[in-house]
Amino acid sequence: MELKDIIAISGMSGLYKVSAQTRSGVIVESLADGKKTPIGTNHRISSLADISVFTKTEDLPLAQVLKAIHAKTGGTVSVDLKAEPEVLKKYFKGIIENFDDEKVYASDIKKMLSWYLQLKDKLDFEKLGKEEETDESAVAPITGAEQEKPVHKAHETHSPKADQHAKVTPVKMRKKV
């Protein structure tokens, strides 16, 4: 399983994997218990590969944050996720020294640490950082004018004239945490 296959759904706790696509949305499978749930188009879905964290210099992709958490903690998180915000920020400062503590809230830190705890047995963290580097080096740099335009993706339909009646939905840009 790769980070791009895992999604977070706004308003729903936990992480999910897309298992099938329907006319009105997608069917997702919970990574915690394997329960399948239909999700409509009104939900905000974010791929973990598209999420990044604010730092004082530039944004850090979530893949690198998860890899840093794994390297520093060794697979165990020693802070209580229900601790005070100052305690969580101090703990996270020990993992990512230059994160922007004004833009990254304690709730974001709780979310990232809980995601790590859910993914620590499902992902290969050695391979995780290497995928991110090869993916970014293969992509040409995007100018500011090109970055603001949404990218459209045509979905398959089951009609005989699929090419003429394909639905087009915008692809979401990178979400910052």
| Mean pLDDT over the full length of the chain | 79
Residues 13-22 pLDDT 10s: 899 999 999 8
For the chain, the residue count is: 177
The predicted pLDDT at position 142 comes to 44
CA torsion through residues 149, 129, 32, 106, sign: negative
58 and 98 in a single domain? The answer is yes
101 and 58 in a single domain? The answer is yes
Residues 54-91 pLDDT 10s: 999 999 999 999 999 998 888 788 888 899 999 999 99
The predicted pLDDT at position 53 comes to 93
> 127: domain range?
52-134
**Calpha distance 81→107 (Å, rounded):** 9
Q: What's the whole-model pTM score?
A: 0.69
15 and 83 in a single domain? The answer is no
87 and 121 in a single domain? The answer is yes
The predicted pLDDT at position 134 comes to 44
Indicate the pLDDT class of residue 166, thresholds 50, 70 and 90.
Answer: low
- Report the side by side order of strands in the sheet with 25-30: 36-40, 25-30, 16-22, 6-9, 45-47
**Calpha distance 162→53 (Å, rounded):** 39
Domain annotation covers residue 100: yes
Q: How far is CA 127 from the centre of its chain?
A: 17
Domain boundary among 11, 30, 50: 50
107 and 65 in a single domain? The answer is yes
**Calpha distance 153→141 (Å, rounded):** 21
71 and 111 in a single domain? The answer is yes
Split into its structural domains, the chain has a count of 2
Domain annotation covers residue 148: no
